[in-house]
Amino acid sequence: MRIDILTLFPDMFQGPFSQSIIKRASDRDLVNIVIHNIRDYTHDRHHVVDDYPYGGGAGMVLKPAPIFQAVESIKPETGHQGEATGGGASAAPVILLTPQGRLFCQGIAQEIAKCHHLILICGRYEGVDERVRDYLVTDEISIGDYVLSGGELAAMVIVDAVVRLLPGALGSDASALDDSHATGLLEYPHYTRPPVYRGWAVPEVLLSGDHARIAKWRREQAILRTLRRRPGLLEEATLSEEERQLISKTEQSGFSMSSSSEQE
């Protein structure tokens, strides 16, 4: 997979992308991430990327020309725009990171992970000229309802979530499937040694060696934790009749929402 990222702050990406899973995926050539400084695609003496908004108002707006120039310079280089290169692979999605975008989730990460090529545009200032949206961008994504200073951290979040889904990116392929958001439930509690720490014991079942009992306990814990913390997630989860009954029983017993009593 190739990922091109357009930004005014290319240095922001150096730390996160030179560590851990993204580093390993790059080293293994599973992904090729290319960072472009939007300022490099200006042609004026002062490399101006922004300007005052027409109609007035606070803040600055990213000019269309450098962004169009950047994307157009990337596309021929990577060469699968359908007709122009004889068809085949579909054109790369051009995704604008913006607070007005579709809310990012694991399902969108899975969709994006299927692409051979992806172009991410990080906005800054008050926004980008609307013609970028109208005539260049194919998707707009937000990572949540809070205010960031720009699209860079959002782009890093998306790249991290997508790259770890690429076959071979993780140590074992099992870990990606077992992820809480892939099962539709929050994760069960984890413990490691010692068996008693400051008088707090690890649940007995985990030391029993009874793998069937352990699996049942973990599944139950995952369901109860999801019920208490993120009940909305249960609507999408695939549950057995017995598991639905566990939920009803817990709800009828007037369960508490507080996390400190979750284990009780």
Q: Known catalytic residues?
A: 99, 126, 164, 179
Q: In the bound complex, what is the minimum distance in angstroms from residue 108's beta carbon to ligand 9D3? A: 13
Does 126 bind ligand 9D3 (CB under 6 A)? Our answer is yes
Q: In the bound complex, what is the minimum distance in angstroms from residue 9's beta carbon to ligand 9D3? A: 12
Q: Give the integer Cα–Cα distance in Å for 257 and 230.
A: 10
Q: Give the integer Cα–Cα distance in Å for 235 and 213.
A: 26
Does 226 bind ligand 9D3 (CB under 6 A)? Our answer is no
Q: Give the integer Cα–Cα distance in Å for 168 and 24.
A: 10
Structure tokens at 211: 């793998």
Q: Give the integer Cα–Cα distance in Å for 264 and 260.
A: 9
Q: Give the integer Cα–Cα distance in Å for 175 and 182.
A: 10
Q: In the bound complex, what is the minimum distance in angstroms from residue 8's beta carbon to ligand 9D3? A: 11
DSSP E strand stretches across 158-241: 196-197, 200-201
Tokens 């008693």, located at residue: 196
Question: Per-residue x/- marks for ligand 9D3, 135-164, CB under 6 A?
Answer: -------xxx-xxxxxx--x----------
**Closest CB to ligand 9D3 among 149 and 172?**
149
Question: Per-residue x/- marks for ligand 9D3, 183-222, CB under 6 A?
Answer: ----------------------------------------
The pairing of strands 32-37 and 2-7 is parallel
**Closest CB to ligand 9D3 among 64 and 127?**
127
Closest CA to 35 of 2, 6, 74: 6
**Closest CB to ligand 9D3 among 84 and 103?**
103
- Strand, helix or coil at 170? coil
Verify cis geometry, omega within 30 degrees of 0, for the bond prior to 194. yes
Residues 44-103 touching ligand 9D3, rule: CB under 6 A, are: 97-99
**Closest CB to ligand 9D3 among 147 and 196?**
147
Instruction: Kindly calculate the radius of gyration of the chain based on its CA atoms and give it in whole angstroms.
Output: 23
- Strand, helix or coil at 42? coil
**Closest CB to ligand 9D3 among 71 and 155?**
155
- Site for ligand 9D3 (CB under 6 A): which residue of 127, 128, 137, 221? 127
Q: In the bound complex, what is the minimum distance in angstroms from residue 234's beta carbon to ligand 9D3? A: 26
Give the Cβ contact number of residue 154 at 10 Å.
Answer: 23
Tokens 């009874």, located at residue: 210
Does 8 bind ligand 9D3 (CB under 6 A)? Our answer is no
Q: In the bound complex, what is the minimum distance in angstroms from residue 242's beta carbon to ligand 9D3? A: 40
Residues that bind ligand 9D3 (CB under 6 A): 97-99, 123, 126-127, 142-144, 146-151, 154
